[in-house]
Structure 1
Amino acid sequence: MNFLLSIAFVLCWSSGFIGAKLGAGSASAVTILMWRFLPLVVILIVIATVSRTSWRGLAVRDVARQAMIGVLSQSCYLLTVYYAIQLGVSSGTTALIDGVQPLVAGAIAGPLLRQYVSRKQWLGLCLGASGVAIVTMADAAAGTGASWWIYLIPFLGMLSLVAATFLESRSRARVAPPVSMTVHCATSAVIFTTLAVSTGAAKPPAELSFWVAITWLVALSTFGGYGLYWLILRRTGVTKVNTLMFLMAPVTAVWGALMFGEPFGPQIALGLAVGLAAVVLVYRGDTSSTKVCARDIDTGEAARPAKYGA
């Protein structure tokens, strides 16, 4: 089951970069994000009402924590990704920068969550970084014409998502996924609507491509990618879910090649193969440490450090 969820997650999450590029040709980043989240919040509220999702037992601090997670994992992260693409960074390159996330998460998972990374897992993380570097060099050789500082924008978004991941993992309160997603999306809807209205970018364009992009982003990127991210995080732990990020860059490159004619050569194919090998190595490197620690965090028990042995 985890294997199938991982495949679905990689495909759906990488679809977000493609959806951002689909909409970038007809509207600004804040316009796309505003109209992505407004109808989404309505859908989630209807689902919560029909399914009678329980909000009982949630303290104000729990809702506030979820709102902060939404700000970091959606508002900040998506705004930087969309803005970078709007400024000329290709969808593949933006996904490449996200590829650094597993190393950042792995480095701080132990000190903050006691989800220690084994030697085999570190080897897999470094192998994955090599795959990202291979694809990066291929993309840089193609040239995008974007200024160097623009590439720092999605890097900040990557750090924001890492912060949200750890904030969620350190939470002892169990919040139902429909509830957390509703809070996250409602927070983002307020932020992006405020930004769009204040900058005069609230009016959606009349182009059909804009609404195709919005539908794409709501169905695949949010319900698929974003929802599966938190589900897999709870099932497997920080290191494993973030290792899947190594696959986003090459998979997005495939999407871009098929849909936009972006270059896809032998180097990108090699990067995809290396990324796949990295994911396999990390998942086989330690099958107990992250699950044990994640269970301890979820149940509120004292977390036990996992051994470093292979």
Structure 2
Amino acid sequence: MTLPQNQTHPLIWPIVAAALVVSWSSGFVGIRYASENADVMLVLFWRTLLSGLILLPFALLIGPRIGARALIQQMMFGVATMFLYLGGFALAIGQRVPTGLVALISDLVPLAIAALSQPVLGQRLSGRQWIGTALGVTGVLIVSLDSLTLGTAPVWAYVLTVASMMVLALATVVQKRLGTINMPIHQSLCIQCLTASVLFAACSGWNGGLMPPLDTRFEFGMAWLVLFSTFFCYGVYYMSLRRYSAAQVSSAVYLSPPMTMLWAWLIFGEPLSTAMFLGLAMTLFGVWLTSSRGALHRRTARLGSCEQPVG
């Protein structure tokens, strides 16, 4: 339930929105920073393991008893939304796909859900949603083609970002079709993190081991990803959903790609261009067209446990 706007000070929302945009985009930057001197799978292993272990006592002591069916569902969701979705994006960032482009593609999830709703759920798309989807995809293509000329990442890494985004969208639509099991976020996030950590451990072990590098960059990056990109981000996100409408909160989340592009330019020297901003504006407008207020409210409620800030 959201509070009427007249019950909150008008300056509170801009502060909350700024915190949400910065923390939401921080996961992309944190992955890029921590993986400078470490394998990206190792970064994700320690990030998910530490997050899950911190949440574990709260998940066991606070909230309803976790049944076998709920546990299995959340483990499967962890495989899809953390291991495949986060792992794919992080691997693309590790291959030096521009960080802002990765953030932009991750924000295409509402468009992908809209497109998948017709074949999976039998829900027809309106003309406005089709136009929005086309604009969103066109915008990403503009940014991607410009990034290909400016960057050094292999083509398969760009394809991987799109595939990762589609995994999350498909998992969300399938979960809606099968029916969801209500579970507090700290319990579901704990199960998903620990499940993903096992899989990331296997990948990291295959690549060379699980021992983290003993350097300040990795330690700072890990603290950033766990404390800021995970716990602070989720806290602000769910606090925002309680006080404001889902459409208003989501409109702030969609501003994370330009913030990510700016961070990547300032910290890592990733190039910016006019074509990138043109494609970005076109994609954000397409997302806005596709996400009607009613559909956006339902969609955001379901994406709460699966839209992982990359972290």
Common fold: TM-score over 0.5: yes
Partner of residue 44, structure 1: 55
Moved more, 120-129 or 153-162: 120-129
TM-score by length of 1: 0.76
- Give SS of 2:293's match: coil
Preserved contact between residue 251 and residue 272 of structure 1 (Cα < 8 Å): no
Distance 2:42 2:300 in 1: 38
Of 67, 73, 86, which residue of structure 2 is paired with 1:78?
Answer: 86
Q: Deviations over 1:228-272 (max 9, x none)?
A: 789999999x99999988655433222211221212233333334
Task: Name the structure 1 match of 2:167.
Answer: 160
1:67 and 1:88, CA in 2 relative to 1: closer, same or farther beyond 3 A? same
Whether contact under 8 Å (1:115, 1:294) holds in the other structure is no
- Residue 308 of structure 1 is matched in structure 2 by none
Residue 288 (str. 1) matches residue 294 (str. 2): yes
Deviations 1:246-300 (Å, cap 9, x if unpaired)?
Answer: 65543322221122121223333333433443344344xx3335657999xxxxx
Which residue number in structure 2 is paired with residue 273 of structure 1?
281
2:138 corresponds to which of 116, 121, 130: 130
Going from structure 1 to structure 2, the CA distance change for 1:154 and 1:276 (only over 3 Å counts) comes to closer
Q: In 2 relative to 1, CA 233–83 (structure 1 residues): closer, same or farther, beyond 3 Å? A: farther
- Which of 105, 108, 116 matches 1:108? 116
Is residue 88 from structure 1 mapped to residue 75 from structure 2 by the alignment?
no
Q: From the superposition, tell whether residues 7 and 123 of structure 1 become closer, same or farther in structure 2 (CA, over 3 Å).
A: farther
Query: Residues 147, 199 of structure 1: CA spacing in aligned structure 2 closer, same or farther, 3 A cutoff?
Result: closer
Question: Are 1:53 and 2:62 counterparts?
Answer: yes
Does structure 2 conserve the Cα–Cα contact (< 8 Å) formed by 1:81 and 1:153?
yes
Instruction: Please give the residue correspondences for 1:195-210 in structure 2 after superposition, counting only pairs within 5 Å.
Output: 195-210=203-218
Task: Letter of the 1:184 partner, please give it.
Answer: Q
Q: CA deviation at 1:36?
A: 0.8
Q: Which amino acid aligns with 1:47?
A: F
1:288 aligned counterpart, secondary structure? helix
Establish whether residue 151 from structure 1 lines up as the match of residue 158 from structure 2: yes
1:241-252 equivalences under 5 Å are 247-252=255-260
Distance 1:115 1:290, change over 3 A: farther
Q: Which amino acid aligns with 2:34?
A: G
Find the residue that maps to 1:255 and give its secondary structure: helix
Q: 1:293 to 1:156 in 2, by over 3 A?
A: closer
1:257 aligns with one of 247, 265, 280: 265
Is residue 25 of structure 1 aligned with residue 36 of structure 2?
yes
* Secondary structure class of the residue paired with 1:136: helix
1:10, distance to aligned residue in structure 2 (A): 4.7
CA distance in 2, matches of 1:186, 1:102: 26
CA shift, 1:206, in A, is 1.4
Residue 22 of structure 1: CA displacement?
0.3
Which aligned pairs between 1:297-308 and structure 2 lie closer than 5 A? none
* Structure 1 residues 109 and 223, CA gap change in structure 2 (3 angstroms): farther
What is the rounded CA distance, in whole Å, between the counterparts of 1:132 and 1:245 in structure 2? 17
C-alpha distance 134-87 of structure 1, shift in aligned 2 (>3 A)? closer
The worse-fitting range, judged by mean Cα deviation, of 184-193 and 250-259 is 250-259
Counterpart CA distance in 1 for 2:249 and 2:174 is 15
CA contact (8 A) 1:132 1:249 kept: no
**Which moved further from structure 2: 193-202 or 153-162?**
193-202
Alignment RMSD = 3.9
Instruction: Tell me, yes or no, if the aligned pair for 1:124 and 1:278 is still in contact at 8 Å.
Output: yes
- The two structures have a TM-score, normalised by structure 2, of 0.76
Single out whichever of 156-165 and 202-211 deviates more from structure 2.
Answer: 156-165
- The answer to whether the 8 A contact 1:15-1:221 is kept is yes
Counterpart of 1:300?
none
Gaps in structure 2 of 5+ consecutive residues: 1-11, 302-311
Q: Distance in 1 between matches of 2:113 and 2:39?
A: 31
Cα distance 1:100–1:253, how it changes in 2: closer, same or farther (>3 A)? same
Q: CA deviation at 1:203?
A: 0.9
Instruction: Label 1:124 to 1:155 Cα distance change in 2 as closer, same or farther (>3 A).
Output: closer
Kindly provide the amino acid, as one letter, of the partner of residue 92 in structure 1.
G
